[in-house]
Each structure stands twice: as structure tokens, then as C-alpha cells.
Amino acid sequence: MKHRIDSIFADLRARDAKGLMPFFTAGDPDLATTAALIRAADAAGAAVCELGFPFSDPIADGPTIQASMQRALDGGVDVAAIFDTVRGLRSDVKLGLVAMVSYSIVHRWGLERFVAEAADAGFDGFIFPDLSLEAAGPARAAADAAGLTLSLLVAPTTPLDRARQIAAACSGFVYVVARAGITGARAALPPELTDRLRVLREVTDVPLAVGFGVSKPEHVRDVTAVADAAIVASALIDRMQTAERPLQAATDMLHELAGGLW
């Protein structure tokens, strides 16, 4: 089955272009702002937008995203409201929408129900950061059946043979973790990242999207010299938190980051 995410990356490759993938926490500071941010990302030319589902015990997230998720939870955001928000804007945007969600949330809803609701709302895929390769089979099958993608994470410490297996289990794209540790904006990316991406590129043709620490246009340029897309999360949230006009600040930064694409 041809997924929207597949079509987006196929189009990028056909044009010898690369993609920007911003991340926003659903409901921070509220869902109306989340909808406006997704529309702004689409207008800025983002290829895919990751929407984080607030979780009280986020996986590998640093202080910025932890605080963002707590603000959303304090505001009463829940899964059903996130689905309703996406359903209300899906026809307004052409970018891909991917749910970044702890598998424990999916488990509580039930896999089949969660996937069906996400597909009905207009999501195009999932990233389950706490789902292991060995346990991913049922989720991949459910996503495929619904016409959605499933992306798993490859860490800096992942052996090459296992990284190959993870990539083979992914659809849409592989989420490549740029650096060890937790999420958060960084002044510089690890010097060995480019070589690691080149090695991964040799063992899989699945698009590679790089996140964790990507925060500047030059980071976007550097990772997309080899990878297919750059994921920016904490830096966007930090920019909004320190701005008098958060939505405008995010919009400005999205255009700045897009300037790093080649």
C-alpha cells in the first residue's frame, strides 16, 4: 500500500530535495495553537510534522520537551482531543502528520482501536520511541493495514546489523538518533554523525530522518547532506517559550531552518 509519507519522500528524492520535520507537543500551550503551528509548518514547506502525545513519563526527552508535555497535561489535553484537532485541520495541510507516542498509551487504548482512530483523524504514521524491534511486528502490521507508516529508532550505539534489521522493519522512514542521551538543542552535532549516516545509507534505502540535537540551519544542512530529512524539536519549543509572540517566533524559525535545506 502506498503511504502518504512514502509519496512525500519519493517526491523529495525525485526533486533531489530534502525535508524538514518539525516536532510540536500537542496541546502546548493549547490545541488551537498546535493547529496553528501545523499550518505554519506546512506554509513554511515542512515535509512532515511530528506531533508528540503528552505523556507523564516521556521516553528519552530532555527538560524542554518534558516541560512542554507537562504543560499540555496540566491543560487537560487527552488523546481524543488530539485526534479531533488533527481531524479538523487535515484537509487544510499537505504535509505528512506523524504521531510520536509512547506505546503504553497505545496499549491502554488497544492497538487496533488506536490505529483506526489515528487513521480516521488524518495521521499518516507513527513513531513509537519505546517499542522494541522484537515487539514491533503487530504494530507494523496494523499500521500497514490502515495505510499508515511505522518508524523505529536507531541509536548511536546500535550495532550495524541490528540497525539494518530495524530499518527493514520500518516503513516511511527510519528515525536516526543523532546523539546519545536525551533530547535537547545542542551547539554542535557529533563529529562522527556524517560517517554513521553514510554507513546506514549503504545498508538501507529507507529514508533516514535525523533528530536529537538538530537545532540550527547549519545542522539541517549538515545532516541532510546524507540523510533525507532533519527533525527539529526542542529548539523550536525553546524559541516559543522565550518569545512574546510564540506562534510568530515558531514561524520565523521554521523559515530559518528551511533555509538550511539543499
Residues forming the active site: 50, 61
Separation between Cα atoms, residue 6 and residue 98, nearest integer Å? 12
Contact present, 104 and 129 (Cβ < 8 Å): no
Separation between Cα atoms, residue 141 and residue 210, nearest integer Å? 24
Separation between Cα atoms, residue 8 and residue 149, nearest integer Å? 12
| Residue 169 to residues 47, 65, 144, 164, 177, Cα–Cα distance (Å) | 22, 27, 11, 9, 16
Closest CA to 65 of 50, 80, 79: 50
Say whether the peptide bond before residue 159 is cis (omega within 30 degrees of 0).
no
Separation between Cα atoms, residue 87 and residue 90, nearest integer Å? 5
Classify residue 203 as exposed, middle or buried by CB count within 10 Å of its CB (0-12, 13-18, 19+): middle
